[in-house]
A = this chain, B = another copy of it.
Amino acid sequence: MAVNLPPMEDPRPVDGIRIGVAATGEKGERPNVAVLALAPGSVTGGVFTRNAFQAPPVVVARTRMGATRALVVNSGNANAATGERGIADAKATCAHVASRLGVTAAEVAPFSTGVIGEFLNMAALARGVDAAVADLRADGWANAARAIVTTDTAPKAASREAVIGGTRIRATGIAKGAGMIRPNMATMLAFLGTDATLSERAAGALVRDLAERSFNRVTVDGDTSTNDAFVVMATGAAGAPAVQDGHGERYAALLSALTPLAADLAQRLVRDGEGATKFVTVRVEQGGNADECRRVAYAIAHSPLVKTALFASDPNWGRFCMAIGRAGVPLDQGAVGLYLDDVQVMANGLPTADYTEEAGAAVMSRDEFTVRVTLGRGVARETVWTTDLSPDYIRINADYRT
């Protein structure tokens, strides 16, 4: 079950990035290891889960952003809650990749997704790494998109190109896993490669700014995992002028060009959210600042009562009021407005005279629609993408062992 999840676009190669995949045998014939090799001079930037419980690969990978030469990703086992041994395993995997690629272990960053609380099968993983390195190729993106999934219903990839400072640059991204797709299945992972030229500082700014406009704007159940990571890799192979930091016109142009790609990947994750039957955009406008807009948007997107109403196509504006009102923003309820797509439901904190339940229900029966709230406090606006809460969510999460 997924809501209008588009098929994986044929992801285009990015000069300076080669990708190989292999099967360790833990998922039968299905490839579950990917190695991404970056040309010399490439830089990376990463953002990682803010959960206080961080899996060993996250602990290691966050120290290896910058002059990274390779990424190694395995799916099926998150190497999470594995303590010192998990750290050692993650580092040993990187050292093994490094030895095969002729780089140093510190230039390799590890990523894992899957079951929590089990140690990696190091022998199988080493064999998988060897086979993945032997498989390295420029057009390996689609294979990698397939290799990193766990319980996703489909692989996710997309490409974009743009002209920055007179030079055409290309970018391709892959991603997996919306919310906590399955119990004990950790992780959202996303990897975005581009042949633009970035300093390490600019790559760090870019990954944070892109995450803020994409992966940090999607929510399925509000829970976050031990392994979440998003990495930007920039090879410089297009020969475009370098972007030195997170300021200036050229950086802004690059951010604008890549935001739709990151947002596309993030929205694919939501569309593939567990038990999702609706794709809902929550837009909060006229806020005093961005933070209060986000608080209201997330209060709506996380309310079980709202999410159940979304599932039931029930234009229950009272539930939206509750959620808006509990966001912790000092609202004047008499200034609040509510719209479902183009239908105005409330004005000045009260239902409008010409609103009808039929009009509201007509919007909410769509599989995609926008809940728009106006706060009457200022000019800030923020958008969050979410899903409904269906009986399937509970079934998936409660019955997964049987």
Q: Are A318 and B116 also in contact (CB < 8 A) when A330-B52, A398-B311 are? A: yes
**Which B residues touch A327, using CB under 8 A?**
52
Return chain B residues, CB-CB under 8 Å to A329: 52
Q: Does A376 lie at the interface of the complex (its beta carbon under 8 Å from any beta carbon of B)? A: no
Q: Which stretch from A2-10, A140-148, A385-393 is at the chain B interface?
A: A385-393
Are A304 and B304 neighbours in the complex by a CB distance under 8 Å?
A: yes
Chain B residues within an 8 Å CB radius of A81: 317-318, 321, 349-351
* Complex: A43 Cα to B349 Cα, angstroms: 33
Tell me if A50 counts as interface (CB < 8 A to partner B): yes
Are B326 and A224 interface neighbours, CB within 8 A? yes
Contacts of A183 in B (CB 8 A): 305, 308-309, 314, 316, 318-319
Determine whether A399 belongs to the interface, using a CB cutoff of 8 Å to chain B.
yes
Chain B contacts for A389, CB-based, 8 A: 304, 394
- Residues of B close to A321: CB separation below 8 A: 53, 81, 116, 226
Chain B residue nearest to A275 in the complex (CB):
B394
In the complex with contacts A52-B324, A53-B325, A398-B304 CB distance below 8 A:
no
Are A308 and B394 in contact, with the CB atoms below 8 A?
yes
Shortest Cβ distance from A332 into chain B, in angstroms?
8
Q: Work out how many copies of this chain go into the complex.
A: 2
Give chain B residues whose Cβ lies under 8 Å from the Cβ of A304: 221-223, 304, 389, 393, 397
Report A302 CB to chain B, min CB distance, Å. Answer: 8
Task: List the B side residues contacting A151 at CB < 8 Å.
Answer: none
- Residue-wise, chain A 217-228 has the 8 Å CB interface mask toward B (1 for contact) of 000011111100
Please name all residues of chain B whose beta carbon is closer than 8 Å to the beta carbon of A83 when the two chains form the complex: 349-350
A203 proximal to B (CB < 8 A): no
* Binary CB contact string for chain A from 359 to 388 against chain B (1 if under 8 A, 0 otherwise): 000000000000000000000000000000
Q: Which residues of B contact A399 (CB under 8 A)?
A: 312
